[in-house]
Every structure is written in C-alpha cells, then in structure tokens.
Amino acid sequence: MSENQLQGPGAAPASGGGPAIGIDVGGTKIAAGLVGGDGRLLQRAGRRTPRPVSDPASEEMKAEAVEAAVVAVVRELGADAPDAPVGVGAAGWMDRSGREVLFSPHLAWRNEPLQERLEQALGRPVLLTNDADAAAWAEWRFGAAREETHVVCLTLGTGIGGATIVDGRIQRGRFGVAGEFGHQTIVPGGHRCACGNRGCWEQYASGNALGREGRGLVEAASPIAHALRAAVDDDAALVTGALVTQLAAEGDPACRDLIDEMGQWLGLGIANLAAVLDPGVFVIGGGLGSASTALVETAEHSYRRSLSGRGYRPFARVAQAQLGAEAGLIGAADLARRR
C-alpha cells in the first residue's frame, strides 16, 4: 500500500495513537527514535551508516549492512514497544507500492525489496517512504505547516530535496518520483550537476554550493576571507557549507555575503515553484535550512521580488522548519502509525 493510499484528505488528523518507530537513513548516519502520537521523541538511537569496502561485492555488502544496521536500531528501540510499527525514510526513489527502493544515490540500494526484507527480519509492519516526504509530513502534522492545505517543503543539505502536500496527501506524481526540485535548470549552461545536467538549482542553493563558493575564496587567497582562511589554515579542501554557515552566524562578513548570495538564488527558485504550484507556505528545512535564519529571510525577500504577477496575487508564507534534523524520523513514524 502506498503513502497516497494511506493519507486521507482534509485537515491534519488529531494527534494520538500509540508509539511508532521512525528511522531516517542518511549517507553518513542512521537516526532513529520512538515517537509518541503527539510527535514527541520518547527515546533516541542511532548508528553510523556502513560504508562500502574495497572489493567487487562492496555495493551489495553495503546494502545488506545498512539493512542490518536498521534492524539493530529498531530492536534497540522496540524492546519496550513490541507492537510499534516502523517507518523508514531514505533518500531516493520509492516505487508506487511502497515496497521497493528503486534507486538511492548514497545507499547502494537498486530495486531493493526493502519493505519485505525488513518485515521478515523484524516481525512487525514497516512503511517505506522518501526522506523528504517524511520530513514534510512531520512539519505539516506537528511543525511549521500545521493547518495549511497546500505545502511545499524544501530540504537543504548536500543538495535540495522537496515534497508537496495538498489536502493531507503527499503528492508523489504519476511514477512516484516527484519532488526533485533541486534539478530545475535555473542557469542554462551553468555549473555541472551530479545528475548530468548543467545549471541545476542545487548547484546554486545548497550546502555543496556554499562550500564550493567558500573554497573559491580560500583558493584565491581573498583578503576578505581572512576568518575562513584562518579556520582551515588556508587549506581550501577543508571548507564545507556547514563551516561557512557557522562563520556567517558568528558575524564574519565574507561568509555572510555567501549566505546572502545563496539566499538570492534560493528565492528565485522558490518563485519558480510558486508560479507552478501556488502553495500557502514554503517550509525550508534540512541541515542548512534549519541552521541559518538569515538564509531563509534573504530567500523570502528574493522570492517576493521575483514572483510573477506580484502585486496582484497573494504571497505564500516562507517559514523555517521547526523540527530540525529530527523531522524525517518523526514523519516516518507518524506515517507508519497511520498505516
């Protein structure tokens, strides 16, 4: 049964129900929690995501190792909640039935019958969903998008993920792979993207983009980037988007300029989405979106300057996500409970 079949239309359902286990599987860590019916975390657990080894079977071994790590963390959390259902959110494309991971770029899952394998190992029901869908669901149920009928959630991290909720239903598209907002072409012929195209939005408004711009300042030995250069001892390879965000929050002018520039690009892409989807709120989350209030504020100003027909149509709210890094596991747990 797919998520679209699970979620009824209308306003958000009332909080309640027994606890459920939510899992957020990322490229570097597996975050998990026992979540109450009101969205509160009752217990936390986690593991490092297993990395591949150097042999011909490494990808297959990594896929199995990740599944084993998920099973271990569920058993840890489920010791006192033997009837709790499990929701697993992961980056990638899920089939419409919610049974298989068709493709996950960081987890070596290719046409993986993950739901069946986990249910057999755990002896309890498992719901499989995209991590951005899970995070959006959590923000709609318990966070920044409560009581809104039309929601677009953007998750800013390494790239840009996204999800849309309309009248209480996650919109997954005809083939189940909707929400790849980060791959709209925003600069024709621009920076090469890992997807194979050039000029994708996430090449200008993501953690990777922020790190690339910061490295450029260090490589150029720019005098305005003295704080950034000092933080990495002039080793540009050590510059990350997280470091630039941290220094900007501490008041460094050069890093604040980079955040401002990224916010301009982010707002332009939001205006494009508003023209097509016309939501009531854009929720900006993910590691980067949750960490930088200045980024969200700049993006909103840029969006308001770029929206087509401005002055003759309402503006959607632009809100910073409220649930932070735990949104994915909270949403996955709630979706599993509703099943």
Phi, psi of 203 (to 5 degrees): -80, -5
Residue 15, pLDDT score:
57
> How many angstroms separate the Cα of 180 from the Cα of each of 71, 72, 130, 175, 277?
29, 31, 11, 13, 14
3-140+326-338 and 147-322 in the same fold: yes
Architecture of domain 3-140+326-338: 2-Layer Sandwich (3.30)
Q: What are phi and psi of 305, to 5 degrees?
A: -80, -20
CA geometry: angle 244, 281, 184, nearest 5 deg? 60
Domain ranges of the chain: 3-140+326-338, 147-322
The encoded tokens of residue 41 equal 């975390």
What's the pLDDT score for residue 12?
54
Up-side HSE of residue 254: CA atoms within 13 Å toward CB?
Answer: 20
| pLDDT value of residue 57 | 47
Q: What is the pLDDT, as a whole number, of residue 4?
A: 42
Which tokens is 330 given?
Answer: 């909270």
Cα–Cα distance measured from residue 140 to residue 146, given in angstroms and rounded to the nearest whole number: 5
Low-confidence residues of the chain: pLDDT under 50: 1-11, 53-57
pLDDT tens per residue across span 87-101: 999 888 888 888 888
Which pLDDT score, from 0 to 100, does residue 125 have?
93
| Strand-pair partners of 222 | none
HEC per residue, the chain = CCHHHHCCCCCCCCCCCCCEEEEEECCCEEEEEEECCCCCEEEEEEEECCCCCCCCCHHHHHHHHHHHHHHHHHHHHHHHCCCCCEEEEECCEECCCCCCEEEECCCCEEEECHHHHHHHHHCCCEEEEEHHHHHHHHHHHHCCCCCCCEEEEEEECCCEEEEEEECCEECCCCCCCCCCHHHCECCCCCCECCCCCECEHHHCCCHHHHHHHHHHHHHCCCHHHHHHHHHCCCCHHHCCHHHHHHHHHCCCHHHHHHHHHHHHHHHHHHHHHHHHHCCCEEEEEHHHHHHCHHHHHHHHHHHHHHCCCCCCCCCCEEEECCCHHHHHHHHHHHHHHHC
Q: Residue 56: its pLDDT value, please?
A: 43
| CATH architecture, domain 147-322 | 2-Layer Sandwich (3.30)
Tell me whether strands 86-90 and 126-130 are parallel, antiparallel or unpaired. parallel
Q: Model pTM greater than 0.85?
A: yes
Contact call for residues 72 and 78 (beta carbons, < 8 A): no
Contact yes or no for 129/337 (Cβ under 8 A): no
